[in-house]
Each structure stands twice: as C-alpha cells, then as structure tokens.
Amino acid sequence: MNNKSIEDYGYTEFFKNQTKLYNMKEKDLIVGRVIEVQRSQYKIISEYGEENAILKGSVFFYEDEDKIYPSVGDFVLVKRNLYGEDVIYKVLERKTKFSRIDPDSETEQVVATNFDYVFIMTSLNHDFNIKRIERYLTIAYESGATPVIVLTKLDLCNDYETYIERIRDVCIGVPIIPISSVTKEGIENLSEYIKPMKTIVFLGSSGVGKSSLVNLMASESIMKVSGIRECDSRGRHTTTHRELIILKNGGMIIDTPGMRVLGMWNAQDGINENFTDIEEVISKCKFSNCHHDSEPGCKVKEALENGNLSIERWNNYLKLQREIEFAKRKENIRNNKSSKNKYNKNELDLVKK
C-alpha cells in the first residue's frame, strides 16, 4: 500500500464529481493517474503505488470509435489485478490539455493533460526564437493552464535583459524567469509554481535544458542529459517519451520530448488570447469582413504602416491561423468519414436483423 492518497497526485473535486456518476464499488474500480505511456503500455500511480496497466479491450476497441485514449496526466478508472497488469476502463474528463497535429496521421495527438502550469522553455543562445515562443504561448493559453516563460542557460548569457525585453513586447503579462541549472541562479523564482499536488508541463526544443531542470528539481539524476552543438546551439533528444515525474516535495512535472515543430491543433481561443493586440486592431476595421489587403478603413494596414504593429508579429499571426484552418479541415474530413462508416455499419446491422 502506498503511503500517499490519490489526492496527493492532483485528484481534485473536478475529478471527484465525475466519479460520483459511476458505481465504483460494484465494478471494483479505483482511481489512478497515468504517469507514463509507451505505445499500448501504460504506467499508473494510485494509493497502491505504481502499477503497469493495459486498456480494457471491449471498452476501448469495440464500443465507440471516438473513444478517448489515456495520455500522460490523465486520471483513469482502473480495475486492479493482483497477478498481472491493471485494466483501464475509463478516462475522466480533462481539466486541461494541449495537443498538436500528428505529423504522420495529420490527426490530433494529445501530448499532456491535467496540468496547472506550462513552462515554456527556451535557451539564452541560438535557440532563442520569438516566433516559436509565440507558438508555444498560443498552445499554452489554449490548454487552459497558466503559462510561464523560463529562459535557461543564464550562466552563458551576459545580456539576458535584452532577451526579456523582446519577449515582453509580444507576451504581455506573462511571467519571465531566467535561470541557470548550473549555477542555480533564478531557481528560487520557480518555487511558487512547484508545489504539492500541482502539475507543470515542460515545453521546449531539444537541448534547452528541460532534463537538467527536472534533475535539479528532483534533487537527483533521473533524466539523461546531453550537450548541445556549439555551432548552432541545438541539442539531441534526451527525453524519448512523455512521463509524469513526482518530486520529493509533492509537485509533479510532465516532461516531453523536444519538439522543434509543434503543429497547431484547434487553438483558436489560444490565438485570441495570445494576440489580443492584433484582435483589437482587427475589431476596429471599417468592415467586419475586412481582408486587410486593399479595403478602405483597414486598421491593420494603418498599424503596420505607422509601426504600431510589427510585420513579423502580423505574419506569424497569419501563419498560425492558416495552420489552425488546415487542422480543422483535416478534422472535418475525418469526422465525415467516421460518420459515414457508422451509418454504413448501422445500415448493415439492420439488414442482418
């Protein structure tokens, strides 16, 4: 028996209210949290400690084609198996999540769920990229969690204030914390986020220092760390899969593989939140259907001409909008195919009867 309760792992009233709808005792189910996913194998943690788990086949593979599959951070209803792997019956509704478009299947890929903060991590070196920060910030807002920008490798930078000023121009009101995992400078400023029962997800490219920070927070070397190429400051992938790490103080971190390309998925609300300055300018255009091209009274053109809006930020806004529209089209195509398949299946069942 574990000496911790499921509440210690972030199980709040939001999830408790959901389990009230199920007769847990009748089905002999308990609540667990997914801490690792590798292909079809899952590792969960509950009041009984860590266990391996598999999906209930009749539930996930036959009942509903649109079944939600577990991801790292999910709370799940599980039947214990004292002689083998536990069996996952259901994924509880998520409080927060972020997804990307799968580069292979062009469908939604859920990266992490049920976190409180998003640490957007970038190095104070050649990896620094404002457009990528804007992308990550859009996804963070869409997730429903609180974003925090963490600038790593402070010990290698002499003019970090310049970087901070550049970020403040596009990330209004977002905390910006420069740190060094080597000298531990600035680490104390992260303490207000790394708290018992709170979960943080790390986002950033390979080599930005995610694994080094995890090791520092855990006070032990639990993640492999590799160096970077000096010529371009790019690192090698050290995290190969997503997992939830439980710290000694009760805080939790979801580390993710470095993702230099993070395709947008259903992040319109995140764009609206991240680009409020642009949305406000657009709202002042003379025509509601303004294409911001040659229409009279276009406030976007005016802002670009007088310098109140940078062309780089405007172009990045348009690029992210195009990515979202692309993802929507792909999802609509997939949903239409799914509906058609269900219709044909129901029609076949009627014929059989």
Q: What is the CATH number of the domain that holds 320?
A: 1.10.40.50
The arithmetic mean of pLDDT across residues 63-76, rounded, is: 83
Q: Which residue, of 233, 255, 277, is where some domain finishes? A: 255
The distance between the two most distant Cα atoms of the chain, rounded to a whole number of Å, is 76
Task: Dihedral sign for Cα 83, 89, 93, 98, please.
Answer: positive
Judge whether 322 lies within some domain.
yes
pLDDT value for 174? 93
Is the confidence at residue 235, as pLDDT, over 60?
Answer: no
Range from 63-72, 147-156, 191-200 carrying the lowest mean pLDDT: 63-72
Judge whether 102 lies within some domain.
yes
Residues 6+ apart with CB under 8 A from 6: 30, 31, 32, 33, 46, 47
DSSP 287: S
Judge whether 261 lies within some domain.
no
User: Do both 104 and 203 map to the same domain?
Assistant: yes
pLDDT value for 263? 54
Residues 6+ apart with CB under 8 A from 158: none
User: Do both 104 and 249 map to the same domain?
Assistant: yes
Per-residue pLDDT of 78-116, as tens digits, reads 999 988 999 999 999 999 998 876 656 666 788 899 999
Whole-model pTM: value is 0.75
CB 218 within 8 A of CB 202: no
Judge whether 260 lies within some domain.
no
DSSP 98: E
Q: Which residue type sits at 147? A: P
Q: How confident is the model at residue 240 (pLDDT cuts 50, 70, 90)?
A: very low
Is the confidence at residue 219, as pLDDT, over 50?
Answer: yes
Place of tokens 């076949």: 348
Domain holding 171, by residue range, is 97-255
User: Do both 110 and 250 map to the same domain?
Assistant: yes
Q: How far apart are CA 45 and CA 30, in angstroms?
A: 11
Judge whether 25 lies within some domain.
yes
Q: How many domains does the chain have?
A: 3
